Amino acid sequence: MERFTVYRIEDRMYWEGRPKLAFQPVERWHSGGRKVIYTAESASLAILERLKWFLTRNVIVTNLGERSFIIWRADLLLREPPEEIDTSALPPNWWTAPAWLSHETQEVGNKWLDENRSLLLKVPSSAVPTGMGWNYLINPQHADFNRALQQATVAETDFDFQHYLG
């Protein structure tokens, strides 16, 4: 088994000490109310992804200091490496559409979730140029999900956007 590390920023009020499913019924890589956990390959990319999420939803970034966040890191034990999508098959400028209108990428993620092919799917970040940052979707329907989370080492750290962004 191989250790694999992923990161995510959570609003403290929703954190329960363990990674949990996305509440959004539609995001860049899924639709139709499917459940998935979005994570990033690094803490810095997780922060950038969360900022992009706020900005595309018109959340006032200057008010982020009034909210409490944590950044968590999960070291997962994987039986198989993450599946990786073929970025050359994505449409040109796939990252420019708002996440909820990204039908081509949603089809990729939906197919992966519906076919239940792997625990993790490696997808390019839409917050940086293609190939320069990777996100990992975690499939909660996969047979290894409960085992991987039960055996995971999870660490959390308070995160203050205002402190780091000035």
Strand partners, 30: 27
Walk across the sheet containing 83-84 and list its strands. 83-84, 120-124, 134-138, 37-40, 2-11, 69-78, 153-159
CA distance 59 to 106: 23
- Evaluate if pTM is beyond 0.85: yes
The answer, yes or no, to whether residue 7 has pLDDT greater than 80, is yes
The answer, yes or no, to whether residue 20 has pLDDT greater than 70, is no
The answer, yes or no, to whether residue 62 has pLDDT greater than 70, is no
- Does residue 59 sit in helix, strand or coil? coil
The dihedral sign for the CA sequence 60, 123, 8, 160: negative
The answer, yes or no, to whether residue 61 has pLDDT greater than 70, is no
